[in-house]
Structure 1
Amino acid sequence: MSIINNALTGAAASQIALNTVSQNIANLMTPGYTRQGTLMVSQRATQAGTVSPGDGVKVPSLIRFSDSYKSQQMWQAASELSQRAIPQPYLTQLEQVMGDDESSINSGLDGFFGALNAASVEPTSLPLRQQVITAAEALAQRFNSLNQVLSNQQASIAQQRTSTIDQINSVSKSIAELNSDIAIAQATGTNPSSLIDARDQKIDALASLVAVQVVEQPDGTRSVSLRDGQPLVVGSRSSSLSVQANPDGSQTLKLAFAAESFTITSTRLGGQLGGLDDYERDVLNPLRKSVSDLAGSVADRVNTQLAAGYTMSGATPTPAPPNGPLFTFDASGSSGVLRVVDGVLAADLAFSSDPTKPGNSDNLLKVIDVKNLSVTVGTLGSVRMGDANTQMVGRLAMQSQQNQASLATAETVRNQSEESWKSTSGVNQDEEAVSLMQYQQMYQANLKVIAVANQLFDSTLAMMAG
């Protein structure tokens, strides 16, 4: 009887729907789970006649509530958030180091030129002259300490970049494997929803490491590439990123896919990888050059002016040591960029402009005035020596504030994109509870139809028997 067949299809469809609802409820708190629905379609009548209503209902497939646009927005937000978050600890550390009054370069410069001012009161005083040498050593130590912090950050970035690339390769491989599994599932008629969820989570993790473009393919796989188009995943194949160390200490990214090899530019990487490159290129390297330029200018200007004067013995300070320069500068020195010449004595400081007058302080006053001379420092250009460090600190603070503002915006955008994704793909407990009751009623109603059909059948048999 068609009434029983129809009721059986309805009961079967409601069971499938109840199973789907139970799956959604079971994964209410599962991160990245995309809710599913049951697609029901009326079966057309197979019996001839205009009074044949149909052959019940069927479930051709389940619906996966997914919006590719919202997923893309969430992945882009992940890239931007990571790009802003990764450099902030480095910026904060430099702000604390360079802003410390006790150990800053400004404090060292003030101490050095303060010692020179004190010595100008009595240029022949050996204790006051020795104090100048001590202040010079303290100034050199401040430069070297800051340079060591910058070098440590450079090494940390290189290590973190290598670790990030390893993660990119691992996640890309996982996405390629899931692509293969999804293609097989679809070809064999298996529901691939859980595999697609796992792949989306992997893509989200990859997007936080480096900005990606994702393209859906007809076979259900997804191709993933960098912003500039270099492939990371195509079907079941993934690429391999690597780092090449350069003689100048920099690093070059290489990408190998199949038989092709690409050199990756670092201007549009995004994610953690892009954040590291942006910080290194825009903050760390310019700051290292500025610190080196300032240290070199201090050494050059002070040494040049001392070379124009005379020591307490009436000798010029050049060319034979120890009557030589006060500072030694080495931009790539392993022991520091700036140091006081070994063996320099208090009496060897050429403060006098007259070889017959050891107490003359004319050249000393010119050394003191070096602080007011203009020097060329990195991206700052021409600045007063005494103001150079202040401008470096100010520039760093501005960069940090801008990054913090961008980071706060990125966090807001990411949170909003997640909520937007959840509004479509997330499980709503109240909606599922309503669906659970509706499909339960549908199931019970179809069983009631079967019961009525059985009664009718029994009545018909009884009537025929009578």
Structure 2
Amino acid sequence: MSILNNALSGAVASQLALSASSQNIANLQTKGYTRQSALLSAVAPAAGSSQAGNGVRVTELMRFSDSYKTQQMWRSASDLGAHSQTQPYLTQLEKVMGDDTASLSSGVDGFFAALNSVAGVDPTSTPLRQQVVTAAGLLAQRFNSMNNVYNAQLQSVRQQRSALVDSANTTIASIASLNAQIANANATGSNPSALIDARDQAIDSLAGQMGLEVSDQPDGTRNVSLKTGQSLVLGGVPGKLSVSGGAAQTFTLTFAGTTFDLDTTKAGGQLGGLSVYEQDTLLPLQQGVAEMAQQIADKVNTQLKAGYAMDGSAGKPLFVYNPGSTSNMLQVADGYQTSDLAFSGDGKPGDTGNLQQLVAIKSQTITMAKIGTVLISDADTQLVGRLAVDSQQNKGALKTAQTMRDQAVADWQSTSGVNQDEEAVHLVEYQNMYQANMKVMSVANALFDATLQMMG
């Protein structure tokens, strides 16, 4: 009977191995699926027995997984997420600020060109004076339009971060739930492979949103924490991220009843990338444009106050600067008339003494916090140049991150992915194994029948 038992165990083992291969082939295109294989081992004969052995058994269904490659894939997802989220914003600003027809530089040039036209023809000409007031309005509109672009991006960045927090909380809860199911499956001897794949896919998704540290535990669970050390998942216990504060967003993490403040610029992933972009690029650019508007307005207004209008009265301010305004940061003073332009330096209508001083303002300097002291005519160019550098650096980092991610996925695939050709070979091998064992069973039955006939 040992021959029959051995053959039966071989047939059962080959069926299990065939089942594993069929599962692999069925999931050939399933994202994140980790291939499995039946691990076979010989069953030793009983102690003192002269038999060859008691057949074969499937020790386990082995998952082909490399922890190092999996960790590399998650780290590359974080780097890719950080740079991919910011590039669309940088590209938009490059197009807007670099557009010759809509840039601040063209607005500044247009305003001072209008002043030059008056100085070169007739300082008392109403049409030429109207061109100056019109050019002043267009310049203010350029500053306001640019400020609106910055405000729109700020709103988008903050909405995107809030959405990321909501999505991350769902994923964190899913990882914790899957951890609990995996621990239970391991304790009861069930195959947790599908659960592990689902959990690792969830971790990969979360890694794209923020940088993670992941550690394996003896019970098969994985603990997940932020790069800065705060725990997101411990076994089956999830943490929860929160965002509050309206426009000035603040982020916290609550875990096991304790709340921690988070600096999202250090979070990595999409969340960190957006925060770094806001703090290091978007807000400084907005501040630079505001400083430029304020100082141009102050210089022009101060010089106008030093001159005389057409009726000989003291000059009035042309610009009104509204700090903190979301739509009218800079505007022409209400009710301003062409006759209010104080071009005269001595009170005579035809004098251009003060007008010449106004024209010379373009060659004066202003000071901006992130750039330093620059000519008014060069200020916008300096801001655009700084933006271009940031964009090029991010493009280079994004390209590198994409290459690293592609390589990490390929490395993971080489170990854990399904190889169709390899599985085809396994099918033939296990099919032959099954047929050979069935042949042994047939021989065993024939021998048994022959023995019965002899005894009869």
TM-score (norm 1): 0.95
SS in 2 for 1:86: helix
Q: What is aligned with 1:463?
A: 454
Letter in 2 for 1:120: A
SS in 2 for 1:453: helix
Distance in 2, matches of 1:19 and 1:135, equals 78
SS in 2 for 1:312: coil
**How far does residue 266 in structure 1 lie from its aligned partner after superposition?**
2.2
1:393-416, CA deviations, whole angstroms, 9 ceiling, x for partnerless residues?
A: 111112112111211111111111
**How far does residue 6 in structure 1 lie from its aligned partner after superposition?**
1.2
Q: What is aligned with 1:61?
A: 60
The answer for unaligned runs of 5 or more in structure 2 is none
Q: What is aligned with 1:302?
A: 300
SS in 2 for 1:214: strand
Q: What is aligned with 2:317?
A: 325
Q: What is aligned with 1:321?
A: none
Structure 1 segment 254-269 matched on structure 2, within 5 A: 254-269=252-267
SS in 2 for 1:48: coil
Structure 1 segment 15-414 matched on structure 2, within 5 A: 15-49=15-49, 51-121=50-120, 122-245=122-245, 249-317=247-315, 324-355=316-347, 357-414=348-405
1:182-210, CA deviations, whole angstroms, 9 ceiling, x for partnerless residues?
A: 11111111100000000011011111111
Distance in 1, matches of 2:60 and 2:396, equals 46
Distance in 2, matches of 1:444 and 1:210, equals 52
**How far does residue 309 in structure 1 lie from its aligned partner after superposition?**
1.4
Letter in 1 for 2:355: L
Letter in 1 for 2:199: R
Q: Is the 8 A contact 2:150 2:286 kept in 1?
A: yes
Distance in 1, matches of 2:180 and 2:264, equals 31
Letter in 2 for 1:326: L
SS in 2 for 1:261: strand
Q: What is aligned with 1:320?
A: none
Q: Is the 8 A contact 1:211 1:269 kept in 2?
A: yes
Distance in 2, matches of 1:408 and 1:129, equals 52
1:356-386, CA deviations, whole angstroms, 9 ceiling, x for partnerless residues?
A: x221112111111111111112311111111
**How far does residue 57 in structure 1 lie from its aligned partner after superposition?**
1.0
Distance in 2, matches of 1:167 and 1:133, equals 51
Q: Is the 8 A contact 1:287 1:378 kept in 2?
A: no
1:230-280, CA deviations, whole angstroms, 9 ceiling, x for partnerless residues?
A: 11111111111111216xx32111111111100001232111101110110
Q: Which of 405, 410, 415 is equivalent to 1:419?
A: 410
Stretch of structure 1 that moved more, 345-354 or 137-146: 345-354
Q: Is the 8 A contact 2:73 2:408 kept in 1?
A: yes
**How far does residue 47 in structure 1 lie from its aligned partner after superposition?**
4.7
SS in 2 for 1:112: helix
Q: What is aligned with 2:431?
A: 440
Q: Is the 8 A contact 2:151 2:326 kept in 1?
A: no
SS in 2 for 1:379: coil
Distance in 2, matches of 1:159 and 1:461, equals 83
Stretch of structure 1 that moved more, 388-397 or 160-169: 388-397
Letter in 1 for 2:309: T
Q: Indicate the percent of aligned positions where both proteins have the same amino acid.
A: 55
Distance in 2, matches of 1:29 and 1:157, equals 35
Distance in 1, matches of 2:25 and 2:199, equals 21
TM-score (norm 2): 0.98
1:421-455, CA deviations, whole angstroms, 9 ceiling, x for partnerless residues?
A: 00000000000000010011111111111111222
Distance in 1, matches of 2:7 and 2:80, equals 53
Stretch of structure 1 that moved more, 450-459 or 361-370: 450-459
Q: Is the 8 A contact 2:217 2:223 kept in 1?
A: yes
Q: Is the 8 A contact 2:264 2:272 kept in 1?
A: yes
Q: State the superposition RMSD in angstroms.
A: 1.2
Q: Is the 8 A contact 2:148 2:327 kept in 1?
A: no
Stretch of structure 1 that moved more, 32-41 or 361-370: 361-370
**How far does residue 59 in structure 1 lie from its aligned partner after superposition?**
1.1
Distance in 1, matches of 2:266 and 2:108, equals 40
Distance in 1, matches of 2:158 and 2:46, equals 70
Stretch of structure 1 that moved more, 425-434 or 447-456: 447-456
**How far does residue 459 in structure 1 lie from its aligned partner after superposition?**
2.6
Letter in 2 for 1:20: A
